[in-house]
A and B are shown apart, each in its own frame.
Chain A
Amino acid sequence: MTMVLTILINGLVFGSVYALLSMGLSTQYGVARILNIAHGEFIVLASFITWELVTDLGVHPLTAIAAAGAILFVIGFALHRTLFKRVRDISPNAAAFEGDAILVAFGVYFILQNLMRIKWGSQTTGYSFMAYPVSIGGAQFQARSLFVFAFAAVICVLYNLFLSHTRTGKSIRAAAQDPVAARMLGVKINRVMAICFGIGGFLAACAGVLISMNQTFSSVTGLNYTVIAVIVVVLGGLGSIRGSILSGFILGIVGTAVNSYDPSIMLVVFYLIILVLLIVRPKGLLGR
């Protein structure tokens, strides 16, 4: 019983981080049609910014969301306004743009990862935060894990409220549904796409801050986050935010269960799930 509870709660903790990891990617792909392979690097960058702030200035890690979030929103917004806009203009059709955008994202990935390697080296980094155990129903948990879960859940809810209740959020959803119709109805499509890319960066920053609280990281771990985010997004349905959240939690719980059996096959199990999904229901759990 304790074992089930441990897996369940740890699964929820991981699931909330997975959901957060993938929401940014999902927003970027859903509207701007860019599969941002540099997403994991954005996350690691936020982790490093948090680490610098916490160890140098001694601030609470949560305040780093303001700094890292602002920086990464600007980076994302600027990247779309310059690079991806240009690629979109020269691409003959939508399919060609998706291909080219992935390649450009690769370039960004290379540059960002190696700038971080020059700045911070490639050794594992981390700091201690809320390192004391909490007991729930007889099972022991790290206090910081529960904190991460609570905060990730808050961000997921806030983001969904933003999408459903604000004017910008509504134009984002409109652009995701049908860019041409949205444009005819007065949505400034280029601006919305750039904002979405910026929001992707902001959500990556949130994920990066939370990850830095709970686990160690290094300048080379970014790709692992990207792979997990991509798997979550595909399972949830490309471009579906709620799908990403749902599949994030599913994979979090499945992943934790597999982890307690044999950690080295977690990715293999995730891949098997995707394999079955692509055969049975390629559009994902909640995809249109």
Chain B
Amino acid sequence: MAFIKRVLPGTARGRLHLGALICVAAFLAVFPGVSRPYTTIFTASILMYIILSLSWTFFSGKTGYISLATAAFYGIGMYIEAILGRYIPLPAAMLVAAAAGFLIAAGIGAITLRLRGVYFTIFTFGLVLLLQNLVLWIEIRFFHTKGRIVTSGDFTFVYYCILAVFVILLIAAVIMRRSRFGLALECIGQNEDSAAHIGVDTTRTKILAFAVSAAPVSAVGAAMATRVGYIDPNIAFNLLMSFMPVLMAIFGGTHSLYGPVFGALVLTLLEEKLIRGYQEYYMIIFGAVMIIAVSFMPKGAAGIAESVFLKLRRRLRPRSHPRNDGGARDE
């Protein structure tokens, strides 16, 4: 009971957010029943991007260590489903994928997160290409094949599997924000030396957080593999899957949970509109969005929305004092 009390938001604003969240989850749960198959599939890929960018934000947004390894974990998940898909049901394969993602990320973190600075980014940057080459070599050498057929699943079922990951991730993210672990992470992002001084085991915290953030990515990779039908190393380890979540999170804003969700939503819709025939232009727009987001929107779209909202409120209620509802935590 004490645990639930600690986790549940103690303020009116917090409860409002929780209520909204439950409404959205409920809507998404009944969604496949009322929509056309195409919309369901598309919504699943929006959810997939949201999960990817939330996972990225969970580690990189908080600590400032920029990971470009999302595609690696995503591809690992895809391969696990391709290998295990015909023996075990999808949810089980997703669990295996999550565990594999967790362990591999922990290993990579153990080597690179001991070091400060750009080593981590550099290492994760090449990791996707490394896995692409390594898996291709293994496939050709030992299995005499270049790609694998994946048993395809019922898309509504896949949708629910992805939705489940999304809900679990959101709950975990909300709990984490107020936990010792979440605060330690945030502290590392603000000033790693101070974090170490006040007794945070920075290396262990970073490694654990990176590993945790990889698990949902691999799980979603396993689920999405059933939609592709056929995978080879170039499809599974696509560098774009590393870049997109970063872009979505930065554009949306990494300081809140809404930011990455909003960023993923907007940019996935944009991708859907432009991907056919205009791919180059769409990538140029993405590049421009990235530059503008970093140089002019340090808190992303969510940050802008918040400051506009605060300004409006101040104008409408000029004499009201900002209530002390824990908002001080944000700055």
Interface of B with A (CB < 8 Å)? 64-66, 111-112, 115-119, 121-123, 125-126, 129-130, 133-134, 136-137, 140, 192, 239, 243, 246-247, 250, 279-281, 283-284, 286-291, 294-295, 298
Q: When chains A and B are docked, how far (Å) is the Cα of A227 from the Cα of B242?
A: 15
* Contact indicator B133/A103 (Cβ below 8 Å): no
The stretch that binds B, out of A7-15, A56-64, A164-172, A263-271, is A263-271
Q: Which residue of B lies closest to A35 (CB)?
A: B118
With both chains docked as a complex, state the minimum distance between the C-beta of A135 and any C-beta of chain B, in angstroms. 34
**A113 is an interface residue with CB less than 8 A from chain B:** yes
- Give chain B residues whose Cβ lies under 8 Å from the Cβ of A234: 119, 122
**Which applies to chain B's interface (DSSP): helix, strand, loop or mixed?**
helix
Q: When chains A and B are docked, how far (Å) is the Cα of A234 from the Cα of B122?
A: 9
* Contact indicator A264/B280 (Cβ below 8 Å): no
**Most chain B C-beta atoms within 10 Å of own C-beta, residue among A106, A223, A282:** A106
**A210 is an interface residue with CB less than 8 A from chain B:** no
> Contacts A114-B283, A227-B126; is A282 near B137 (CB within 8 Å)?
no
- Give chain B residues whose Cβ lies under 8 Å from the Cβ of A271: 126, 130
Q: When chains A and B are docked, how far (Å) is the Cα of A27 from the Cα of B291?
A: 22
Q: When chains A and B are docked, how far (Å) is the Cα of A112 from the Cα of B247?
A: 17
Q: Which residue of A lies closest to B129 (CB)?
A: A227
Within 8 Å by CB of B133, from A104, A267, A274, A279, lies: A267
List residues of A (20-54) whose CB comes within 8 Å of B's CBs.
29, 35, 37
- Give chain A residues whose Cβ lies under 8 Å from the Cβ of B289: 107
> Contacts A96-B64, A114-B284; is A104 near B126 (CB within 8 Å)?
no
Identify 28 residue pairs between A and B in the complex whose beta-carbon atoms are under 8 Å apart, listed by A's number: A35-B122, A86-B295, A95-B116, A98-B118, A99-B65, A99-B121, A102-B66, A102-B121, A103-B290, A106-B246, A107-B286, A108-B287, A108-B291, A111-B284, A111-B291, A114-B279, A223-B239, A230-B125, A230-B126, A264-B140, A265-B137, A267-B129, A267-B130, A268-B130, A271-B130, A278-B115, A279-B111, A282-B119
> Contacts A95-B64, A110-B284, A271-B126; is A104 near B137 (CB within 8 Å)?
no
- Give chain A residues whose Cβ lies under 8 Å from the Cβ of B126: 227, 230-231, 267, 271, 274
**A115 is an interface residue with CB less than 8 A from chain B:** yes
Inter-chain residue pair count (beta carbon < 8 A): 117
Please count how many residues in chain A sit with their CB below 8 Å of the partner chain's CB atoms: 45
- Give chain A residues whose Cβ lies under 8 Å from the Cβ of B298: 90
**A275 is an interface residue with CB less than 8 A from chain B:** yes
With both chains docked as a complex, state the minimum distance between the C-beta of A173 and any C-beta of chain B, in angstroms. 21
* Contact indicator A90/B284 (Cβ below 8 Å): no
Q: Which residue of A lies closest to B108 (CB)?
A: A275
9 additional A-B residue pairs with CB within 8 Å, beyond A102-B121, A262-B137, A264-B136: A87-B295, A90-B298, A98-B117, A107-B291, A110-B243, A114-B284, A234-B122, A264-B133, A265-B133
Q: When chains A and B are docked, how far (Å) is the Cα of A254 from the Cα of B280?
A: 36
> Contacts A98-B118, A230-B125; is A83 near B283 (CB within 8 Å)?
no
* Contact indicator A113/B283 (Cβ below 8 Å): yes
**Most chain A C-beta atoms within 10 Å of own C-beta, residue among B121, B136, B289, B295:** B295
- Give chain A residues whose Cβ lies under 8 Å from the Cβ of B64: 95-96, 99
> Contacts A87-B295, A227-B125, A230-B126; is A106 near B243 (CB within 8 Å)?
yes
> Contacts A99-B64, A264-B137, A271-B126; is A104 near B117 (CB within 8 Å)?
no
* Contact indicator B287/A109 (Cβ below 8 Å): yes
Q: Which residue of B lies closest to A37 (CB)?
A: B125
Q: When chains A and B are docked, how far (Å) is the Cα of A265 from the Cα of B283?
A: 30
Interface 0/1 of A110-131, CB less than 8 Å to B: 1101110110000000000000
* Contact indicator B281/A99 (Cβ below 8 Å): no
**Most chain A C-beta atoms within 10 Å of own C-beta, residue among B115, B122, B281, B288:** B122
* Contact indicator A118/B280 (Cβ below 8 Å): yes
- Give chain B residues whose Cβ lies under 8 Å from the Cβ of A96: 64
Q: When chains A and B are docked, how far (Å) is the Cα of A238 from the Cα of B122?
A: 11
* Contact indicator A103/B284 (Cβ below 8 Å): no
* Contact indicator A115/B246 (Cβ below 8 Å): no
Q: When chains A and B are docked, how far (Å) is the Cα of A262 from the Cα of B134?
A: 12
* Contact indicator B129/A110 (Cβ below 8 Å): no
Q: Which residue of B lies closest to A98 (CB)?
A: B118
Q: When chains A and B are docked, how far (Å) is the Cα of A90 from the Cα of B125?
A: 25
What 8 A-B pairs come out closest when comparing CB atoms?
A110-B287, A107-B290, A107-B291, A111-B287, A114-B280, A107-B287, A114-B283, A267-B133
With both chains docked as a complex, state the minimum distance between the C-beta of A88 and any C-beta of chain B, in angstroms. 10
- Give chain B residues whose Cβ lies under 8 Å from the Cβ of A230: 122, 125-126
Q: When chains A and B are docked, how far (Å) is the Cα of A90 from the Cα of B261?
A: 25
- Give chain A residues whose Cβ lies under 8 Å from the Cβ of B119: 234, 278, 282
Q: Which residue of A lies closest to B121 (CB)?
A: A102
* Contact indicator B294/A87 (Cβ below 8 Å): yes
List residues of A (272-288) whose CB comes within 8 Å of B's CBs.
274-275, 278-279, 282
- Give chain B residues whose Cβ lies under 8 Å from the Cβ of A274: 123, 126
> Contacts A90-B295, A96-B64; is A278 near B286 (CB within 8 Å)?
no
Q: Which residue of B lies closest to A89 (CB)?
A: B295
- Give chain B residues whose Cβ lies under 8 Å from the Cβ of A224: 129
Q: Which residue of A lies closest to B125 (CB)?
A: A230
